[in-house]
Amino acid sequence: MFEKSTWIRLPRNVVVGHGVLERTVDVIDDLHLQGRPLFVTSPTPRRLAADPIAAQFEERGIDPAMVTVETASFDAVETVIETADAEEASYLVGIGGGKAIDIAKMASDHLDMGFLSVPTAASHDGIVSNRGSVPEGDTRHSVAAEPPLAVIADTEILAEAPWELTTAGCADIISNYTAVMDWRLAHRLKNVEYSEYSAALAEMTAEILVDNAAMIRPGLEESAWIVTKALMSSGVAMSIASSSRPASGAEHLFSHQLDRLAPDAALHGHQVGVGSIMTAYLHDGDPGVWTDIRDALASIDAPTTADELGIDADTVLEALTTCHEIRDRYTILGDGIDEQAAREVATRTGVI
Ligand SMILES: NC(=O)C1=CN([C@@H]2O[C@H](COP(=O)(O)OP(=O)(O)OC[C@H]3O[C@@H](n4cnc5c(N)ncnc54)[C@H](OP(=O)(O)O)[C@@H]3O)[C@@H](O)[C@H]2O)C=CC1
Ligand SMILES: O=C(CO)COP(=O)(O)O
Ligand SMILES: [Zn+2]
């Protein structure tokens, strides 16, 4: 008897392009959202996007409530939840980088309330996914959360965001190569649930980005377009899988461990990119995939070495040898690699 079932939750509207910020109220209409919104933003995105969007709403006679968060924390999520109750908000709008969007995402999950994602930085694929990540204790990896009802990504704003945020978003996409390799391995060895559609989409997304790498340059709106579309596609792959597996393997474990060992040293995408070079090497030591990943990262100005991440060699080795412990996710790291093996992979790939 066939008893399988699936429930895929995706954004209903994805609006990307030049000046689309001005269409935010149209998206609200299209979704038939009523009542008062609560905007969740952070200082720079507030000035660039949240205040202008608030003005649009005010012209329509709607007065949005606003919370401006400084750091990603569960206290900030709590503040949003309390404000939503106090201000009688009907839905949330996360406006900013991953910090503001994930806080809105986690709060909306708790409140059972819809939320919209308005990214001002193409820094990682969390801006569209159904996964939320807010640092708690030692935990850095994402958990299941509310997917956005809509994503409104204005390429004019995204193109002007700091270049390193965009290169981090590119590296997060390039890391899909090794995430999918790890996922297939875990499926074969541990019977981990696997989706061919999701894996193919995640891989194809990385391929399209790498094929277009030459067009990804600072300040170009077309680059913001390419990167944002790729982030959308990667987010959809995670929603299809109901897991971050298509976009997160051992290279993400490595990055999450670096976040604990060297907090705020480097951006998420840059760390997973460097991790991806090393885990691709572990999958196959011959020049090929790992050198292609390294070259693709270098071509978009993303770090390829520990030095470029601003992280010392010992920390890289500690992260590599311990990161398999942080979560129940089988990868090429298996039940852990020893220090000798870690030093070998990091040295041979030129990471240290
Ligand atoms: N859900 C997921 O799968 C994932 C979630 N994350 C989470 O995302 C967060 C990191 O995301 P990230 O986007 O790097 O962090 P932030 O949201 O902190 O943004 C990074 C920096 O860029 C600034 N900024 C944002 N947009 C612009 C812009 N257009 N122009 C100029 N400056 C801008 C912010 O300013 P300001 O400080 O003023 O806000 C901030 O200083 C973390 O909280 C992490 O846990 C990370 C990876 C995956
Ligand atoms: O960053 C992600 C995908 O790019 C989310 O992955 P994690 O579940 O490992 O946090
Ligand atoms: Zn990621």
Domains in the chain, start-ordered, CATH in brackets?
13-159 (3.40.50.1970), 163-348 (1.20.1090.10)
- pLDDT tens-place string over residues 192-229: 999 999 999 999 999 999 999 989 999 999 999 999 99
The number of beta carbons lying within 10 Å of the beta carbon of residue 261 is 15
Cα–Cα distances in angstroms (integers) from residue 221 to residues 157, 227, 334, 341, in the given order:
9, 10, 41, 42
Give me the half-sphere count of Cα atoms (radius 13 Å) on the Cβ side of residue 166: 28
Which residues are part of a known binding site for glycerol? Answer: 125, 172, 252, 268
Collapse the DSSP code of 152 into the 3-class scheme (helix H, G, I; strand E, B; otherwise coil) and give the result.
strand
Pocket test for ligand 2, best of 131, 205, 258 (most atoms within 8 A of CB): 131
CB 193 within 8 Å of CB 330: no
- The size of the chain, in residues, is 352
pTM of model > 0.90:
yes
Q: What span, in angstroms and rounded, lies between the C-alpha atoms of 261 and 255?
A: 10
Q: How far is the CA of 39 from the centre of ligand 3 (A)?
A: 24
Complex-level ipTM: 0.98
Which residues are part of a known binding site? Answer: 98-102, 120-123, 125, 129, 172, 252, 256, 268
The ligand 2 atom nearest the CA atom of 234: 4
Cα–Cα distances in angstroms (integers) from residue 278 to residues 38, 203, 242, in the given order:
42, 18, 26
**Any ligand 1 atom below 6 A from CB of 147:** no
| Cα–Cα nearest to 174, from 268, 287, 265 | 268
Q: Specify the residue for token string 């694929």.
A: 125
- pLDDT tens-place string over residues 92-149: 999 999 999 999 999 999 999 999 999 999 999 999 998 999 888 878 888 888 899 9
Q: How far does Cα 71 stand from its chain's mean position?
A: 17
